[in-house]
């Protein structure tokens, strides 16, 4: 996939651009960079519904896939995604990276996934709701419920890696979280559907027989579990869960969170779907439903993952791990720094040693002296308040002893 410079902005939006191939906007709507094959799918699904012949579920679409032999993502593309998604936590226990950025992920994934369903909460509204429980004014109860459901589902996967095996039970649990309070029939929450459904805007008719549906659901999940590459596994779930439509509603939301299971388990950058254009995602899914073609959805998946990596790898790199030693001796550190300044003494190893509190263990004293001297080297009027030192006190001390820190 190649990227091109976006067209100029006209009156606050991208100028309309009609061409096949790569583009970030087409027909006046925000879009993702699109491969020639993806553009073909888009052109087809953009036809009026009456011009597209009705189609049903095709078992051969699933049967043609053989885990670890068939691949929707080429080896080169998978290598590229692995390089992008590799996290600083790749040698740590499963789920470490996702837990490290959990607060950010909760907001981004809850907001972006809900937005793809037409939710009108802004990201700031979502942040207030998740962090403070403050519902946005003028928003419907169902929109608020959708956001909170995403939060619970993400926490379920991330906070305990034992909740994230790729099994039918895990996906049913995700559906229970994501659909809570949103289903016309409360009994349909966390249950394989028992009635026929239709898909708005599409001529695709999913499987209707409950027994057959449950059987296919088990087969599809088992196939996904056998896929070794996490990116291929994630993309398979994004293709085949919505195509099967195992639940009465909320299928795409389940697939988007399920796609994160391999990333959580392999400590790869999660997929938040942030900034993914709704129309591009809808077109891509209809391409899967009606044509059994995955190229446009692959374009969306790759762009979305690259966008997520830009967000979260940078966030992780900027996280400063807590200094456990400093936390342990925080009170002792405060006492020593304040005593040295208030006694108008020099910040030297000898002076710090003389002021050493009894609370500092003998084995830690050398490190503690280094920590105190580091604090003095970065001490200024703005942060001296932490030690109970007034600006004038610090100024007088620095004028006499500032150059003698050693």
| Each residue's pLDDT tens digit, 149-197 | 999 999 998 887 787 899 999 999 999 999 999 999 999 999 999 999 9
Quick one: average pLDDT of 230-238? 98
Task: Express each pLDDT in 235-264 by its tens digit.
Answer: 999 999 999 999 999 999 999 999 999 998
How many C-beta atoms lie closer than 10 Å to residue 350's C-beta? 11
Q: Label residue 198 by pLDDT band (50, 70, 90).
A: very high
Q: Provide the pLDDT for residue 28.
A: 53
> Would the pLDDT of 46 be above 60?
yes
pLDDT digits (tens, 9 = 90+) for 323-346: 677 778 888 888 999 999 988 888
Is 60 exceeded by the pLDDT of residue 92? no
Question: Which position has the higher pLDDT, 319 or 370?
Answer: 370
Give the whole-angstrom CA distance, residue 337 versus residue 86. Answer: 41
pLDDT of residue 102: 72
Q: What is the mean pLDDT of residues 284-302?
A: 98
Average pLDDT value for the chain: 86
| 3-state class (DSSP) for residue 86 | strand
Q: Quick check: helix, strand or coil at residue 10?
A: strand
The per-residue pLDDT for range 96-145, each reduced to its tens digit, is 655 667 778 888 989 999 999 999 999 999 999 988 889 999 999 999 99
Percent pLDDT > 70 in the chain is 85
Residue 1 is predicted with a pLDDT of: 44
Whether residue 21 has pLDDT greater than 50: no
pLDDT of amino acid 380: 86
Count CB atoms within 10 A of the CB of residue 286: 24
pLDDT (0 to 100) of residue 26: 42
DSSP for 258-318 reads HTTHHHHHTTBPP---TT--HHHHHHHHHHHHHH---HHHHHHHHHHHHHHHHHHHHHHHH
pLDDT at position 63 over 50: yes
Whole-angstrom distance, CA of residue 259 vs CA of residue 80:
18
Judged against a pLDDT cut of 70, whether residue 213 lies above it is answered with yes
Lowest mean pLDDT among 8-12, 219-223, 298-302, 329-333: 8-12
Instruction: Provide the H-helix boundaries in 91-228.
Output: 96-100, 102-115, 123-132, 141-159, 168-179, 210-226
Q: In what helix (H) or strand (E) does residue 256 lie, and over which residues does it extend? A: helix 251-258
Beta-carbon contacts of 242 under 8 Å, excluding residues fewer than 6 positions away, are 251, 252, 255, 285, 288, 289
Beta strand pairing call for 9-10 and 13-14: antiparallel
Reported as a single tens digit per residue, the pLDDT across 371-380 is: 888 888 888 8
Partners of 26 in the β-ladder: 29
Share of the chain above pLDDT 90, in %: 58
Please tell me the least confidently modeled range out of 70-79, 223-232, 306-315: 306-315
Round to whole Å and give the CA distance between 350 and 204.
Answer: 80
pTM score: 0.72
The tokens of 294 are what? 């995955």
Per-residue pLDDT band at 8 (split at 50, 70, 90):
very low
């Amino acid at each position: 996939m190649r990227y091109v410079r976006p067209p100029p902005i006209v009156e606050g939006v991208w100028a309309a651009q009609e061409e096949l191939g790569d583009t970030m906007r087409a027909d006046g709507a925000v879009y993702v960079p699109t491969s020639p094959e993806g553009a073909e799918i888009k052109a087809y699904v953009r036809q009026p519904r009456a011009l597209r012949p009705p189609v049903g579920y095709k078992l051969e679409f699933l049967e043609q896939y053989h885990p670890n032999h068939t691949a929707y993502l080429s080896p080169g593309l998978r290598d590229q995604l692995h390089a992008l998604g590799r996290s600083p936590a790749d040698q740590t226990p499963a789920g470490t990276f996702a837990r490290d950025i959990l607060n950010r992920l909760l907001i981004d994934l809850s907001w972006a996934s809900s937005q793809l369903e037409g939710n009108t909460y802004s990201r700031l509204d979502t942040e207030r709701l998740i962090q403070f429980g403050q519902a946005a004014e003028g928003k419907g109860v169902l929109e608020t419920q959708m956001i909170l459901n995403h939060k619970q589902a993400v926490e379920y996967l991330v906070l305990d890696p034992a909740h994230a095996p790729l099994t039918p039970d895990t996906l049913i649990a995700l559906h229970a979280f994501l659909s809570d309070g949103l289903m016309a029939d409360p009994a349909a929450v966390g249950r394989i559907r028992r009635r026929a459904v239709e898909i708005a805007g599409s001529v695709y008719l999913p499987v209707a027989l409950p027994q057959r549906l449950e059987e296919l659901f088990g087969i599809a999940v088992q196939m996904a579990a056998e896929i070794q590459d996490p990116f291929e596994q994630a993309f398979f779930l994004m293709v085949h869960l919505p195509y099967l439509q195992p639940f009465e509603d909320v299928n795409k939301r389940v697939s988007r969170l399920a796609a994160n299971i391999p990333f959580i388990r392999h400590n790869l950058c999660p997929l938040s779907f942030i900034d993914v254009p709704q129309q591009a995602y809808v077109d891509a899914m209809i391409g899967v439903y009606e044509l059994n073609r995955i190229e446009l959805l692959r374009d969306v998946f790759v762009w979305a993952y690259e966008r997520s990596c830009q967000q979260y790898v940078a966030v992780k790199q900027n996280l400063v791990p807590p200094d456990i030693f400093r936390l342990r001796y925080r009170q002792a550190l405060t006492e020593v720094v304040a005593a040295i300044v208030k006694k108008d003494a020099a910040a030297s190893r000898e002076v710090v040693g003389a002021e050493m509190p009894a609370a500092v263990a003998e084995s830690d004293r050398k490190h503690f002296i280094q920590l105190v001297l580091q604090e003095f080297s970065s001490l200024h009027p703005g942060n001296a308040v932490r030690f109970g030192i007034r600006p004038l006190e610090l100024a007088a001390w620095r004028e006499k002893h500032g150059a003698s820190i050693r």
